[in-house]
Structure 1
Amino acid sequence: MLTKYLVRVPGPPWLLAVVAIFAIQLTSALSVPLIELVGPGGTAWLRLSMGALLMLALVPPPLRSLRRGDAPVLLGLGIGMGLTTVAFLAAIERIPLGTAVAIEFLGPLTVAAVRSGSLRTTVWPVLALGGVVLLTEPWHSEFDVVGVGFALLAGIGWGTYIVLLQKVGDRFTGAGVLSATLPVAAVTAGVIGWPQAAGHIDGRVLLIALGLALLAPVAQFVLELAALRRMTATAFGTLMALEPAAALILGLVILAQLPSALQYVGIMLVVVAGACAQRGGLRAPPLTTGPVPLPEPRRPTD
């Protein structure tokens, strides 16, 4: 299997995980110019299509292991992934990247709190919500209700995706699930994206989409799998809480999105909440064979 050789990536596992975080956020930041050319739907469609082709080449889907009851869940995963990607890209078209990621982060935080079975863990989504309020600053006239709404939809999609993925994740590795669902996601996004992108697709646009797909999901997948082979899922998940901070940094450097002092505080609250929720929301890993499964995705998108 090709991935058996790809995951032999040198370097400390924590560094590989951090590089994966920046790969996925760099993909989001670099998607903004493409959104201007083909719209959020078109960008989602092109990125997912390229990602599907690349992942199918790396990791064939587990077609022989499929059962009749798996098809509806896998289709649901793919459709959810496509719609969530469109919603997130529509959000970053209107609001800063760091803000959109922080809002979207509320979805998996809520799932983690509910899974823990402890009332004490509900404090983390509440803390993150407080951070999101500081980030969005709804008391200002520049508050973009539509952009925030798209980010919330993406968060709901991310949380739902995690729940659905767990239903099939106990039987399949994460890589196999990704290869099976990305084509469905691409077709779903194409329903919205084709009308937006039609007439604007040329060699340059396709090359940009291919480059973005190489960053995420391909480079992200290789780095995460290499990191997971050498660190615990708890440590990995805690590092993933840095994602909103990475989004804020790249939004500042690449998109010149300068946060206010309150927004810096808000992003810190979201990061702390994410790290604490992950440590309190674990479940016993299922008995599986084959390669180490990927973690539940931070996002079924970027």
Structure 2
Amino acid sequence: MNDSSGASAKPAGSALLAGFALLASQLSLNLGAALAKHLFPLIGVEGVASYRVGIAAIIMLAVFRPWRTPLTLAQGVNVAIYGSVIGLMNLLIYRSFSRIPLGIAVAIEVAGPLTVAVLSSRRPRDLLAVALAAVGLYLLLPIHSGVNQLDPVGVAYAAGAAVCWGLYIVFGKRVSVMHGGQSVAWAMLAASVFVVPIGAWYGGSTLLTPSYLAIGLAIALMCSALPYTLEMLSLRRLSQRTFSMFSSAAPALSALAGLVVLGESLSAIQWLAIASMVGASVLTTLS
């Protein structure tokens, strides 16, 4: 009796720890994003993205030394795609941040993991979740007149990041069977090969300014090294759909980070849209 009880408690505890790890990941990611937005006028969106990805890659490679465990061809392909998706997602969401508030950008971006979750379910109740998400996205589209109308280009960038986030979950699940830190290190290297040359082209020698590099180090730790490692550990213990639903709470956290750190106030309609997206996530989780 004691043995069976202990066996059942272990998976529950692992899932709970995975959930806390994912929450810590989201908090770190959103605070780092708010910090990153302060650098946009100084070194450009591409420069900040190259800091985030490039410095994180150096840190992850130094800590985990992934070359000690060679990749198979299939693993190499998955890691390359996974890393490229991370790089593109960073560029797109930062471009979106430069044009629209954090919470709104992430509310649109979160449609990616929400779609992954719904597609992996066969329950009719999820249709209501889709409807809630559709309402939220409709309220955020730049087609409504009045206060706080959104930049359509910023919305388009966020939509592109949503596609990348969905692919990130799919390919992240494939590489999560590897050692978490090693897979993230290889992925960040692949992402940096894609992003850093773009950042160097736009930012030039300004990227070598010591004070900017110090902020870039903080951004890399908060937005990439720590959250991606925690998310990889979570992916090993949570199902793809459960991970997607945890991630879908991000719009509320992003909106709060934007409000507290950047003073980005949202209209009542925009808060309603974010609540609708989070509600869709909760409903799918319950089903």
TM bucket (normalised to shorter chain) is 0.7 to 0.9
- Determine whether 1:268 maps to 2:272: no
> d(CA) in 1 for partners of 2:142 and 2:74?
45
Deviates more, 1:82-91 or 1:199-208: 199-208
Bigger Rg, structure 1 or 2: 2
Q: Kindly report which structure 2 residues correspond to 1:146-165, keeping only aligned pairs within 5 A, or say none.
A: 146-165=153-172
Counterpart position of 1:198: 204
Counterparts of 2:178 and 2:91, CA distance in 1 = 26
> What is the CA–CA distance in structure 2 between the aligned matches of 1:50 and 1:120, rounded to whole Å?
43
- Alignment match, 2:34: 29
* Residue identity in the other structure for 2:261: I
Work out which of the residue numbers 227, 241, 251 in structure 2 matches 1:244: 251
CA contact (8 A) 2:142 2:151 kept: no
Number of equivalent positions:
267
CA 163–241 in structure 1, closer or farther in 2 if over 3 Å, else same:
closer
Q: CA RMSD in A?
A: 2.7
Q: In 1, Cα distance between the equivalents of 2:235 and 2:81?
A: 26
- Asked if 1:168 corresponds to 2:168, the answer is no
- Which residue does the alignment assign to 1:78? 83
| 159-168 or 56-65, which deviates more | 56-65
Identity among equivalent pairs (%): 30
Q: CA deviation at 1:18?
A: 3.5
* Superposition deviation, residue 67 in structure 1: 1.2
Query: After alignment, is 17-26 or 199-208 more displaced?
Result: 17-26
Cα distance in 2 for residues equivalent to 1:241 and 1:28: 17
Residue 180 in 1 paired to residue 194 in 2?
no
Aligned to 1:69: 74
Q: Would you say the 8 A contact 1:92–1:100 is kept in 2? A: yes
2:55 to 50, 54, 60: 50
TM-score w.r.t. the length of structure 2 is: 0.82
CA distance in 1, matches of 2:78, 2:23: 30
Q: 1:89 to 1:270 in 2, by over 3 A?
A: same
Partner Cα distance (1:224, 1:76) in 2? 17
Cα distance between partner residues in 1 of 2:168 and 2:235: 21
Q: C-alpha displacement at 1:20, in angstroms?
A: 2.9
* Structure 2 unmatched ranges of 5 or more: 1-15
| Structure 2 SS opposite 1:130 | helix
CA–CA distance in structure 1, aligned partners of residues 255 and 234 of structure 2: 23
Work out the CA distance in 2 between the residues paired with 1:272 and 1:161.
22
**Which deviates the most, 61-70 or 17-26?**
61-70
The runs of 5 or more residues in structure 1 that have no matched partner are 1-11, 281-302
String of CA shifts for 1:120-177, please: whole Å, max 9, x gaps.
42432331231122234521273311100000000011112222223333x3143322
User: Does the 8 Å CA contact 1:99/1:136 hold for their aligned counterparts?
Assistant: no
Mean Cα displacement is larger for which, 233-242 or 62-71?
233-242
The structure with the greater share of residues assigned to helix is: 2
For residues 55-134 of structure 1, the aligned pairs below 5 Å read: 55-61=60-66, 64-134=69-139
- Residue by residue, what CA displacement relative to the aligned partner does 1:202-228 show, whole Å, maximum 9, x if unpaired? 111111110111213334356668889
Decide which of 259, 276, 281 is 2:266's aligned counterpart: 259
- Aligned partners of 2:71 and 2:165: how far apart in 1? 24
Identify if the C-alpha distance between structure 1 residues 219 and 277 changes in structure 2 by more than 3 Å, giving closer, same or farther. Answer: same
Letter in 2 for 1:50: I
Amino acid at match of 2:278: V
The whole-number CA distance in structure 2 between the counterparts of 1:19 and 1:241 is 14
Cα deviation, residue 59, structure 1: 2.5
* 1:166-201 CA-partner distances (Å, limit 9, x unpaired): 3333x3143322111101101101232111111322
TM-fit CA distance, 1:254: 1.3
Whether the 8 Å contact between 1:245 and 1:271 is mirrored in structure 2 is yes
Shift in alpha-carbon separation, 1:102–1:63, aligned structure 2, 3 A:
farther
Tell me the secondary structure at the aligned position of residue 41 of structure 1.
helix
Moved more, 237-246 or 108-117: 237-246
Indicate if the aligned counterparts of 2:32 and 2:222 stay in contact, CA closer than 8 A. Answer: yes
Q: CA deviation at 1:26?
A: 0.6
Matched, 1:213 2:229: no
How far apart, in 1, do the equivalents of 2:170 and 2:120 lie? Answer: 10
Whole-angstrom distance in 2 between the partners of 1:174 and 1:227: 9
